Chains A and B, each alone.
Chain A
């Protein structure tokens, strides 16, 4: 069994662009995410990372293993809305061979810790492709609640898919923390 102390998040650096590009292109990523297919050159990836480093309304992190500091994936918080104190979880992916270890859920948990305890936000939302069992199980465990079903919201792989929006409030997160202790 793995646990949350095996990983940490660090800021994404421009030099990570090739890794990010590989992760994005990795097997099994596209069929699970709620986004469309794009062909992204590594050069464009580099430019993209350069731009988001200077953006105050989002944060991208490399997910790394404590044992050898290897980057195994990336995750993010985007659309930070300071006035209404909410944000969305944006892109998140993990190398194929590191999947199904719970690292994705741990990364989400670390994001929630930062969002609620440091940024002082009130609500975090994310969307995922319906019937993505791994995601569904993970976010339920973290206390996210289903909010909206967007019918036939994305077209990919020859058909339309539904997308689910879930969210967790600061009060729910806090309650969970108390129960953990």
Chain B
């Protein structure tokens, strides 16, 4: 099991997780900060979506983030655009349920994702993007040693306006250097 000492572990999705992911997906406070657009998704569709993730992990891998002590699901994260040939992968985003914010889950789970990507999948680069007004993301990716590759201007339209998106990446060599 992919577990850290502090507070959480990663596990594969289970069918019932759709209830939790659907709750978070319909929370405006949580949606505001995501790069993705706003959609109204029925719980039945959410259920199907979770089932798809369970039975096909070749293109994307989704994990539930769970508390070490209570085993409660506190968030979820994913990697996608898995490119074994160039050893590149996109981090699909990190969602921590609003009720679990500011407890250190995100940083701890991030470390597990990086460990899996670099030490198990043997990848060379992980990249992702976030809204430039998302201050928490800015701080977190800087702390993890990601490099800003550029800012994609007005890439996303949501909440009545266009938003800039920051593109960041971390290389295996940088990950190794940081571990030492």
Contact = CB atoms under 8 A, between A and B. Distances in A.
7 contacts: A82-B84, A82-B85, A83-B84, A85-B122, A119-B85, A120-B86, A120-B87
Contacts of B85: 82, 119-120
Interface of B: 84-87, 121-122
Interface of A: 82-83, 85, 119-120
A119 B85 CA distance: 6
Secondary structure of the B side of the interface?
loop
A83 B87 CA distance: 9
Contacts of A85: 122
A85 B87 CA distance: 10
A99 B84 CA distance: 36
Nearest to A121: B85
A82 B85 CA distance: 7
A83 B121 CA distance: 6
B20 to A, nearest CB: 29
A115 to B, nearest CB: 12
Given A83-B84, A83-B122, 4 more contacts: A85-B122, A120-B85, A120-B86, A120-B87
A82 B59 CA distance: 13
A84 to B, nearest CB: 8
Residue of B85, B87, B122 contacting most chain A CB atoms (<10 Å)? B85
A82 B88 CA distance: 12
Contacts of A120: 85-87
A85 B121 CA distance: 10
A83 B86 CA distance: 11
A119 B86 CA distance: 8
B83 to A, nearest CB: 9
A119 B121 CA distance: 16
